[in-house]
Amino acid sequence: MIVWVLQFLMGLLVANMGEWVIHRYLLHGWGQNPDSFWAYHLYEHHAVARQFDMLDRGYQQWPETWNSQAKECLVLVGILFLNLPFFWWLNGYACAIYFSVFTYYVLHRQAHCQHDWAKNHLPWHYRHHLMNDNANWCITHPLFDYLMKTYSR
């Protein structure tokens, strides 16, 4: 049981680090190239969220078009698929990754459906979109922003 708990905690840590790395280097790094797959994040999602005070209509319903939410879902499913083998030998770790991906999606979607909810429950993500998009890379919890010194008030 203790091994499973340690694996789960390690999975939570890896998931938070993954949020930071993916957001910082793929979505905001490679995403600066308008021809990149990752460009949806800056040129669609950030542009809409800034224009409509954090709200992104693409998140108010299940993706029916090839919008930023649909692309984000594809990436999240890819992460789940890549971590599927861990269920056979690091079950606690895999459970944490799956839990984190689900939590990420629910919180990120909620943040872009309800402005006040985002401001009160994910203030670091709210600030990332509306004040400083070069900081606060984590969505679910700012742990790696603290560790990497990219947390900004």
Establish if 75 belongs to a structural domain. yes
Give this prediction's pTM. Answer: 0.93
Establish if 81 belongs to a structural domain. yes
Number of residues that make up the chain: 153
Count of domains in the chain? 1
Instruction: Convert the pLDDT of each residue in 36-56 to its tens digit.
Output: 999 999 999 999 999 999 999
* Residue-averaged pLDDT of the chain: 94
Q: Which of 101, 102, 107 is CA-nearest to residue 124?
A: 107
Establish if 95 belongs to a structural domain. yes
Question: What does R_g of the chain's alpha carbons equal in angstroms?
Answer: 16
Q: What range does the domain containing 136 cover?
A: 2-147
Establish if 52 belongs to a structural domain. yes
Establish if 110 belongs to a structural domain. yes
Establish if 152 belongs to a structural domain. no
Instruction: Convert the pLDDT of each residue in 103-127 to its tens digit.
Output: 999 999 999 999 999 999 999 999 9
Establish if 153 belongs to a structural domain. no
